[in-house]
Structure 1
């Protein structure tokens, strides 16, 4: 493992930006129609439960990342297979997020640019960032957190000033009962973005010992849950439940309505810039974790070859992952949560935790 360390503030900012990712601009919980805000306010509770499992595993193996302690728990051979699958999972999700960014860019400001060109440019920037190390990446994350938080707050203020908030769009509450809400929470809104925090099991050993990880993580999850709830309420009030459900990028649609004194308007480029920033950080953390996992699994010293190889795979995968953006969305919402997210974010960590506890009790009993 690298010797670099990050502190609690950097961890908080990195976790918040990671969870925001592209989720902050997508139609979270839109299947629950005008009750989507209930989905976003309840989902963090499930996220806290999952994070507690990841944290307890870390506490038992504080110096090891996920891809290493899984071998301690399950044995060398089975553990190595699971480690390899996690690396593939990290690369795959990084490719999906990169595809989201590419599709957004070619749909608006770069309509005449090929998707592969955008992907290559993004990946080269990511390779440079990953090679600088997590400590540099985390310091940049603190600056991005401050800029992005202020910008998002100002956008909500602009919505209010532009008189775009129509609270009647939130009614009727629970018109279809709790079933659509529960269906939206599990597994889609539980796994994205909260279950994706399993990735930080790769980063916990790089955090300074005095940092209270559980407290910091809980605050980050609470902060993200609160903002996503406010953001969802605002988008429903502006667009209405039907348009929110039909729009690929509802925040981009909503911000197009902002017009203040004929001066502040057409803020679409600002939203696109925020999405690129947040997507870059999310892909970067997945990228970095995949590189750490590869180096550990194959006993390699940190080197540029691994980062270039992983970067090339992410770039290529983002292009061939789906023939169109609609099929990409369908795969991400209807297939991936059930086939991959539940396994890697829920089932495997819980099984690892149970086996680790049993092994610990058995060891204490023998002593």
Structure 2
């Protein structure tokens, strides 16, 4: 089952966008101006969504493998896509590891990490064997659960009287340099990461609605993430938000309504876990699709199982601890991932335009 409705695509993309971003306070290196970083990245993300969908519009029935080969030629296109697969594998492993760390730190402190990873990856493989449409249908249910949970959490934080909006001042107190310094990271994470759906857009029924769906995802998820970082800063202060292990969980812990409603941070953890699960699963399926497509492997499920086993060991071995994980995100997004999520798609579109002009003349 490999067909998606536009609503299913929207819910998949939206959950993917907010999946692991709620763990971090995005742009917090700019202190109280982190929300400005997100809004600027949101605008740039909309521009790149136009670039992504323009490529897809030219080849509506092709995924990224086919598009790259048609534009660059079979050999160069295969190399570019193959390198992109390693980029996806890197981020998939990081995503898998960070949510395992999240569960260890909050809900299951005595559980061995490999047990959590095995369950995490095992459930993902089981769903993908059933077909991407099963994951899409599940996303339609989880989407509303996540949205309602976040609205309720934000409302409870507000009526708890824990928000101090003066923490957002002064606006641009240190000028625009801290904002611009943080911007490349947020352009990639999360907005540039949505390019992974170039492996899924050819599955959509109503392809003429693709750009509209993508723009809505970028806009709504960006606004939600902006609200999230504003609430974190107002509740915790910019300084503590920057050093907090999981700012959103720390914010939720402040909720206390007359001693009746309190200690509901588990809800936030479950919400983040669900987002992370979808993000990892979408990455894993894209990786396997590229791998089987390039090497023309017919047994897709066996390849998926092998990829899951590799991901299990890679997730355990490639990072020593969570502190290293948080440190690394400042380098792999602006200096490495941006090549595959932003620069190469732009180059592909420019080459495509040049080829079209040559044909016209």
Give the TM-score of the pair, scaled to structure 2: 0.97
- Is residue 2:341 matched to residue 1:345? yes
Partner of 1:321: 318
Whether the aligned pair in 1 keeps the contact of 2:60 and 2:207 (CA below 8 Å) is no
Shift of the 27–210 alpha-carbon distance from structure 1 to 2, 3 Å rule, reads closer
Task: Work out which of the residue numbers 124, 127, 137 in structure 2 matches 1:126.
Answer: 124
Shift of the 338–189 alpha-carbon distance from structure 1 to 2, 3 Å rule, reads closer
Partner of 2:278: 281
Task: Work out which of the residue numbers 350, 355, 359 in structure 2 matches 1:354.
Answer: 350
1:81 is displaced (CA, Å) by: 1.1
Task: State the alpha-carbon separation in 2 of the partners of residues 181 and 208 from structure 1.
Answer: 40
Task: Work out which of the residue numbers 198, 202, 222 in structure 1 matches 2:199.
Answer: 202
Whether the aligned pair in 2 keeps the contact of 1:34 and 1:241 (CA below 8 Å) is yes
Partner of 1:247: 244
Task: State the alpha-carbon separation in 1 of the partners of residues 354 and 11 from structure 2.
Answer: 35
Task: State the alpha-carbon separation in 2 of the partners of residues 261 and 298 from structure 1.
Answer: 61
Shift of the 301–211 alpha-carbon distance from structure 1 to 2, 3 Å rule, reads farther
Task: State the alpha-carbon separation in 2 of the partners of residues 314 and 250 from structure 1.
Answer: 27
Shift of the 317–124 alpha-carbon distance from structure 1 to 2, 3 Å rule, reads same
Residue 172 of structure 1: SS of its match in structure 2?
coil
1:329 is displaced (CA, Å) by: 1.4
1:108 is displaced (CA, Å) by: 2.0
1:86 is displaced (CA, Å) by: 1.4
Partner of 1:290: 287
Partner of 1:219: 216
Task: State the alpha-carbon separation in 2 of the partners of residues 41 and 336 from structure 1.
Answer: 21
Task: State the alpha-carbon separation in 2 of the partners of residues 346 and 302 from structure 1.
Answer: 32
Partner of 1:235: 232
Where does structure 1 lack aligned partners over 5 or more consecutive residues? none
Whether the aligned pair in 1 keeps the contact of 2:56 and 2:198 (CA below 8 Å) is yes
Whether the aligned pair in 1 keeps the contact of 2:6 and 2:206 (CA below 8 Å) is no
Partner of 2:157: 159
Task: State the alpha-carbon separation in 2 of the partners of residues 308 and 130 from structure 1.
Answer: 10
1:248 is displaced (CA, Å) by: 1.9
Task: State the alpha-carbon separation in 2 of the partners of residues 58 and 230 from structure 1.
Answer: 31
Where does structure 2 lack aligned partners over 5 or more consecutive residues? none
Whether the aligned pair in 2 keeps the contact of 1:68 and 1:296 (CA below 8 Å) is no
1:14-44, Cα deviation, whole Å (9 max, x unpaired):
1110000110231111111111111122211
Matches within 5 A, 1:57-206: 57-185=55-183, 187-206=184-203
Task: State the alpha-carbon separation in 1 of the partners of residues 269 and 257 from structure 2.
Answer: 20
Number of aligned residue pairs: give it: 361
1:99 is displaced (CA, Å) by: 0.9
Whether the aligned pair in 2 keeps the contact of 1:37 and 1:233 (CA below 8 Å) is yes
1:298 is displaced (CA, Å) by: 1.2
Task: State the alpha-carbon separation in 2 of the partners of residues 131 and 302 from structure 1.
Answer: 11
1:271 is displaced (CA, Å) by: 1.1
Task: State the alpha-carbon separation in 2 of the partners of residues 8 and 303 from structure 1.
Answer: 25
Residue range with higher mean Cα deviation, 345-354 or 198-207: 345-354
Give the TM-score of the pair, scaled to structure 1: 0.95
Task: State the alpha-carbon separation in 1 of the partners of residues 285 and 63 from structure 2.
Answer: 12
Task: State the alpha-carbon separation in 1 of the partners of residues 207 and 70 from structure 2.
Answer: 25
1:302 is displaced (CA, Å) by: 5.0
